[in-house]
Amino acid sequence: QVELVESGGGFVQAGGSLRLSCAASGVTFSQFGMAWFRQAAGKEREFVAGIRRNAEMSRYADSVKGRFTISRDSAKKTVYLQMNSLNPEDTATYYCAGAYGLILSSVRTETAYRYWGQGTQVTVSS
């Protein structure tokens, strides 16, 4: 049974940093592509960052490029999202997602991911 568990959300002031973690279980991690999406109140869920099984291949939303970094630790079966220079527009529930057979052109596509975590809240105050 595949399970994705996020952690690391919280409350931070504008300009601050947070690191989100997503621990995967029940997966062959070396074959598993992963991503972070977020959903702000009253808005649709949107892509934030994704990383293929090959950790060298990642993609970012334009809104977070240069501020957020996605990475993965195979030994821990965990993917991270380092978020720097946070601003109030980053306030949202952040979801971890995963899929086997993820191709680079689909990294930003929500429907490409079969498995989802429960979400972790990030709140950035001005």
Question: CA separation (Å) from 113 to 15, 28, 98, 102, 110?
Answer: 31, 15, 5, 8, 6
Tell me the pLDDT tens digit for each residue of 108-118: 999 999 999 99
Coil/strand/helix, residue 106: helix
Residue 55 reports pLDDT greater than 90: no
Tokens representing residue 56 in the block: 């060298």
Q: CB–CB of 49/110 below 8 Å?
A: no
Residue 85 — pLDDT band, cuts 50, 70, 90?
A: very high
Residue 56 reports pLDDT greater than 80: no
Is beta strand 78-83 parallel, antiparallel or unpaired with respect to 68-73?
antiparallel
Task: State mean pLDDT over 68-94.
Answer: 97
Residues of the chain with pLDDT > 70, as a percent, come to 100
Write the DSSP assignment of 49-83 as a string of letters: EEE-SSTT-EEE-TTTTTTEEEEEETTTTEEEEEE
Comparing 41-50, 51-60, 98-107, the range with the smallest average pLDDT is 51-60
- Mean confidence (pLDDT) of the chain: 96
